[in-house]
């Protein structure tokens, strides 16, 4: 099988995406399939098992059957590994390190456990945040004096602090168990002035 798998050197010369639209299209298709599954009768059964197994069993759900089905459906995540291989044009066992597992868990927790759109938002925030904070890894000079904090690896320190702040204020993630909707976004924007007024009134009352 070394001629097929290339042994420990991994798979090489994998055809890449012709353009970004194909990559985003495949991702959108996978997300659509997951949304359809969650909103189906099987998805509602999975939610019932997640919330309370005893109550779900009392309602007549076969725990072993649905747990086994959930395990089988979880293999669908292998599509993500295939997309990663197409993107990198080569793949080997070292690519799937423990750090990649932590990144995936971080995306899910940050976006919101139980929210599909939350996972999508979390993936963009984690990926873009690391790139936006990359300037912290470069030395910074002010009036000819080097700032000691700006060095290689300081970017991840700032990134970790920001993530801790988000988790403290949003314990269930940014979206929680909710899904994105334009009406919800408009309500959130409209409610910001009211929240600011309440905070100002509370501060004035404390000062008085």
pTM recorded for the entire structure? 0.67
The encoded tokens of residue 168 equal: 């403290």
Segments making up each domain of the chain, as ranges: 1-96, 98-177
Give mean pLDDT in consecutive 10-residue pieces for the chain, a chain of 208 residues: 69 81 88 87 86 85 88 85 83 77 80 81 82 73 68 73 76 74 69 69 63
Determine the pLDDT at residue 110: 81
CA angle 175–176–181, rounded 5-degree value = 40
Q: What is the DSSP string of 106-161?
A: HHHHHH-TT-HHHHHHHHHHHHHHHHHGGGGGS--EETTEE-TT-STTHHHHHHHH
Query: Cβ distance 91 to 16 under 8 Å?
Result: no
Residue 176 has which token pair?
């929680």
């Amino acid at each position: 099988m070394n001629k097929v798998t290339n042994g420990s050197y991994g798979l090489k010369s994998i055809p890449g995406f012709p353009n970004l639209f194909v990559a985003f299209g495949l991702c959108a298709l996978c997300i659509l399939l997951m949304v359809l599954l969650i909103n189906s009768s099987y998805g509602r059964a999975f939610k019932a098992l997640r919330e309370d197994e005893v109550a779900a069993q009392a309602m007549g759900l076969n725990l072993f059957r649905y747990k086994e089905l959930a395990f089988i459906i979880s293999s669908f995540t292998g599509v993500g590994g295939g997309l990663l291989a197409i993107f990198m044009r080569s793949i080997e066992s070292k690519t799937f390190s423990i750090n990649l597992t932590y990144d995936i868990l971080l995306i899910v927790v940050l976006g919101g456990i139980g929210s599909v759109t939350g996972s999508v938002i979390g993936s963009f925030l984690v990926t873009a945040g690391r790139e936006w904070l990359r300037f912290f890894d470069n030395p910074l000079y002010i009036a000819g004096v080097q700032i000691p904090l700006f060095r290689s690896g300081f970017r991840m320190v700032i990134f970790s602090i920001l993530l801790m702040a988000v988790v403290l204020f949003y314990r269930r993630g940014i979206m929680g168990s909710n899904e994105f909707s334009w009406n919800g976004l408009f309500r959130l924007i409209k409610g910001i002035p009211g929240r600011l007024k309440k905070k100002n009134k509370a501060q004035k009352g404390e000062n008085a």
